[in-house]
Homo-oligomer: A and B are copies of this chain.
């Protein structure tokens, strides 16, 4: 598993699709790529991507750091494999559901994956989704709106738009829930803290429009009758609906 002359992206592709021929000579490997990736995901889920190190992964498996490099060219490729394994398979498609219900289900599942693996959003996207699971998600999203029989290019961009929204919204949700864990405060306590900060900082002169929102008590932890994700998702789906049913 040397780095050779191939570029990292192509190497990752080969690993994702297990294109490396298993050697016949020499001792059989004790570990598997999947075990390594799984251990790495556990660490990242628990302590974040920042605390993920080759040493920690190796220790979790009871091996030395360098042994991992027999399975992977480097950390970059490990993270890419983690990404595809972590997203897993998309929810099964229900043929009887409406396009809207199906796309909504898909979007919610997408959010859930990101809440389960918050570090997913910290990884820079370098290429289109070429991993088996990522492709399955894309396929599922397309299948959801297939009954609409849209132009293929429009189909793809519709799914991409929904996905963009979900990941953008997930980024906010993930951040706040991570901060909750870190600070060991409840949602209410944090909301109260934030409300206090807003009230201190946001003045009518500096931020007139925002000030109205703040004084209206939007950040007041007492009232919280809206699920931000669902609100936005409904708007996006409305937008799709308006496009296909003018």
Contact = CB atoms under 8 A, between A and B. Distances in A.
Contacts of A182: 126
Contact of A152 (B146, B154, B198, B216): B216
Nearest to A8: B182
For this complex, into which size category does the number of interface residues on chain A fall?
A: 35 or more
Nearest to A179: B126
Interface stretch (A21-29, A34-42, A56-64, A127-135): A127-135
A200 to B, nearest CB: 9
A160 B172 contact: yes
B210 A153 contact: no
A70 B69 CA distance: 40
A47 interface: no
Nearest to A202: B135
Contacts of A168: 163-169, 171
B178 A169 contact: no
B157 A210 contact: no
Main secondary structure of the interface of A (DSSP, over half): helix
Interface in A3-28: 7, 9, 13, 17
Interface string A48-61: 10000000000000
Contacts of A152: 212-213, 216-218
A235 interface: yes
Max count, chain B CB within 10 A of own CB: residue among A157, A164, A175, A202: A164
Contacts of A142: 209-210, 212-213
A175 B127 CA distance: 7
A161 B126 contact: no
B172 A164 contact: yes
A35 B139 CA distance: 48
